[in-house]
Amino acid sequence: MKKRKRLGSVQFLGTSLNNRLLWISVVFLFIFFVPELLFGIVYIFTGYPPLPENLTFVFEMYVYSFLPTLLFVMLYTGLTKKNKPIFQSFMPKYGNNGLASLGLGLVVGFLMNSACVVAALLNDDISISFDFSVVQIPIYILTLFCVCIQSSTEEILTRGFLMERSRIHYPLWVAFIFNSVVFASLHLLNPGISALAVADLVVVGLAYSAGAWYTKSIWFPMGMHTAWNFTQNFIFGLPNSGLVSQFSIFKLDAVNADITWAYDPVFGVEGAVPAVVVDILLFLICIYLGIKDGRGHELISSLEKERRI
């Protein structure tokens, strides 16, 4: 009697079910919501630790719900055999990860967001004034670290786990689109979300995906994401995905009540045309540089296909 070939996982249309996008999405939701649920239960019984009023916003928005998720995704990828290569891709010595990539990302993210803010200023959509004291420097350093926790968590979940898991069996361009759509969906409940804001969130996901691919470093988009959020929320005092900080280096004095091509009074620069433009430019530059380096074939192949070749 001929023995049946034993499969390592359930097969569907010739593809391992545990690597299909639907299953990857289920795993992603598990990673994303389990720590959120556990944190919510702990919060019910203990509440938030007491903090100065100006730091309560920072920790509630950037730390409390993201740090448990970051720890959980690191544990999950580090302890599950098939995900250990993904876990390794987060480490400092993997690829081009390191302070150089992180620093470059911080600079690029700052310049991109600043360009959008300048467009809003030139279009008379906003008015800002300088409001800073050197005694605030420690607070801003702490805040930058807190923003990095939130931004790094989102990058590790999307450009890290989602993109790398999906590109095993799918072309890289599919992995780009998949993680970018999921990334945008995470912001659908944010105050002031609009069609243009959603479009920009998808485009920025594509740009950060291309950035991670070209630089061979997840630390590069981590830096960009951190700088973007910190710049608009704590340097210029503008909304970050619809949420406004209680302190910033520049104070927002006036806002045009109408939505214009350069600014959305609720969602900020992320809901306007300049943000879409700079994100598209970043995407195109990274794709061009990657193709110029002879890596264009990677965009249309999966890791599984590359291994067979």
175/164 Cα distance (integer angstroms): 7
Please compute the mean of the pLDDT values over residues 200-227 and round it to a whole number: 98
Half-sphere exposure of 43 (CA within 13 A, CB side): 11
The answer to whether residue 2 sits within a structural domain is no
pLDDT on residue 243: 81
The answer to whether residue 8 sits within a structural domain is no
pLDDT at residue 3 above 90? no
Cβ 59 vs Cβ 146: under 8 Å: yes
Q: Which domain holds residue 192?
A: 13-308
Q: Which residue has the higher pLDDT, 126 or 304?
A: 126
Alpha helices in the chain, H assignment, sequence order: 21-46, 53-62, 67-79, 84-88, 99-122, 137-155, 163-166, 172-185, 195-215, 219-230, 273-292, 303-308
pLDDT on residue 49: 82
pLDDT on residue 1: 45
The answer to whether residue 1 sits within a structural domain is no
65/33 Cα distance (integer angstroms): 10
The answer to whether residue 257 sits within a structural domain is yes
pLDDT on residue 9: 44
104/84 Cα distance (integer angstroms): 27
pLDDT in tens, 130-169: 999 999 999 999 999 999 999 999 999 999 999 999 998 8
pLDDT at residue 230 above 90? yes
Please compute the mean of the pLDDT values over residues 54-83 and round it to a whole number: 92
The answer to whether residue 3 sits within a structural domain is no
Residue with tokens 């390592």: 8
The answer to whether residue 7 sits within a structural domain is no
- If one counts the domains in the chain, the total is 1
* pLDDT band, very low/low/confident/very high, at 80 (cuts 50, 70, 90): very high
Full-model pTM: 0.91
Please compute the mean of the pLDDT values over residues 116-143 and round it to a whole number: 96
Please compute the mean of the pLDDT values over residues 47-56 and round it to a whole number: 84
Amino acid of residue 287: I
pLDDT at residue 232 above 90? yes
